[in-house]
Amino acid sequence: MRKRMAALGLALCLGLSGCAVKGEEKNASLLGRAAELGEELVLLTVDGREVPAWRYLYWLAFTCDQVREKYKDAGLSLDWETPVPGGTLADYAKDQALANTALYATVENWAEQYGCALSERERAALAETWEEQSAARGGEEAYLKELAALGLDRLRSEELSEVGMLYAKLYDLCLTEGSELSGLLENTDGLTVDRILISAGEDREAAREKAAEVFSRLNSAEDPAAAFSVLAAEGDDAAGPRTLLPGDGTLPPALEEAAQTLEEGQCSGILESEEGFSILRRLVFQGEDLAGEAFDRLLQAAAEEALVQTAPAYDNLDAAAFDQALAELRAEKT
């Protein structure tokens, strides 16, 4: 986050000075016990909104679980000290969890700013959803046990669900003509492209020659559109046709700029970037649902620009130790 600050003010620091949960361990969820943090104590603020420790720890556990699953699927041993851009794998887990926490807090801040609140009918719908999910899992007791492994109970689960409902209400407000948010999506623009990618790999010159061969095949094809689809499927970009928003990072900036110059149905020449060699084809614009993507991008940008202040307990939190402790506590429960 561009405006993230390292620590909260003195009052909050004093409030977290005794954050271990030794005296309340019996009532703490797996999250607080694994982190040795009081779960309701404020761990950070997002544009002034106080966030209790359990929320951040939930996202930290979520991220650690995702990373662990990916390593398992790849048949690799997980080492949290593995270097990655910006630090270690453990640093990545903390940063990703912080980003998710900030995003949820930003939804709540926007909802407060623009007067979005849940109605009684919507709160009743949450209760109905709880009953449906409980039934699908074999009853409330089984569902609560499943949630407990995630560090959640019913109240916390519904609190997170409420944020999801607020997100939907904010999006609807953006689409409501004359609302305070209606102007946010007016300038949404984009384009739809497909791409043939030849990755540079370890031999960039060989990739360059292959790209030239592919380009020649494309130009000599009787049906260039059909040939492009075949060659794209044979290439190293498995994403298929995609709709881009300006500056969304889906393609490198130079490729996005080249795509903007193409007419619908037109192919580019061979475009070189760090990842290899690309040939683009601009397709008929498929932006009917682009408003949702644009709204997500605006919300994400607001979260990234938010002023996030963390307490010393956050800086002292060890993601690797948390993950290990959480795994051990979960094993005890099974």
151 Ramachandran zone, left/alpha/beta (phi>0; psi -120 to 50): left
Quote the CA–CA distance of 184 and 71 in Å, as a whole number. Answer: 40
In a domain, 290, yes or no: no
Q: What's the pTM?
A: 0.71
Query: Tell me, what CATH number does 243's domain have?
Result: 3.10.50.40
176 and 144 housed in the same domain: yes
In a domain, 3, yes or no: no
Q: Quick one: pLDDT at residue 288?
A: 53
Structure tokens of 24? 């309340």
Quote the CA–CA distance of 179 and 228 in Å, as a whole number. Answer: 44
In a domain, 2, yes or no: no
In a domain, 66, yes or no: yes
In a domain, 289, yes or no: no
Quote the CA–CA distance of 200 and 274 in Å, as a whole number. Answer: 8
229 and 259 housed in the same domain: yes
In a domain, 140, yes or no: yes
Q: Quick one: pLDDT at residue 190?
A: 72
Q: Is the dihedral of CA 64, 69, 71, 75 positive or negative?
A: positive
Q: Strand, coil or helix: what is 181?
A: coil
Q: Strand, coil or helix: what is 87?
A: strand
Domain count for the chain, please give it: 2
145 and 44 housed in the same domain: yes
Amino acid identity for residue 36 in this structure: E
Q: What are the distances in angstroms from CA 9 to CA 197, 308, 313?
A: 50, 12, 13
Q: Quick one: pLDDT at residue 156?
A: 96
Q: Quick one: pLDDT at residue 286?
A: 61
257 and 162 housed in the same domain: no
Its domain, for residue 69, covers 10-183+295-333
Strands (E), 82-178: 83-84, 87-88
DSSP 267: B
pLDDT along the chain (334 residues), means of 10: 36 34 56 96 97 97 96 95 94 97 97 94 94 96 94 95 95 86 68 92 94 95 93 90 74 90 94 95 71 81 94 96 96 84
In a domain, 4, yes or no: no
DSSP of 298-324 = HHHHHHHHS-EEE-HHHHH--HHHHHH
In a domain, 288, yes or no: no
168 and 197 housed in the same domain: no
Query: Tell me, what CATH number does 170's domain have?
Result: 1.10.4030
Residue with tokens 């950070």: 44
DSSP of 144-160 = HHHHHTTT--HHHHHHH
Structure tokens of 8? 């909260």
Q: Quick one: pLDDT at residue 187?
A: 56
273 and 317 housed in the same domain: no
Provide the greatest CA pair distance for the chain: 76
172 and 217 housed in the same domain: no
Structure tokens of 151? 């560090």
Chain CA centroid to CA 298, Å: 13
Q: Quick one: pLDDT at residue 234?
A: 93
154 and 235 housed in the same domain: no
49 and 195 housed in the same domain: no
Write down which residue in 283, 303, 322 finishes a domain: 283
215 and 110 housed in the same domain: no
Beta bridge partners of 272: 277
99 and 157 housed in the same domain: yes
Structure tokens of 266? 């037109």
In 3D space, the residue among 119, 142, 160, 105 whose CA is nearest the CA of residue 305 turns out to be 105
242 and 300 housed in the same domain: no
DSSP 3-state helix, strand, coil percentages of the chain (rounded to 5)?
Answer: 55, 10, 35
Q: Quick one: pLDDT at residue 291?
A: 72
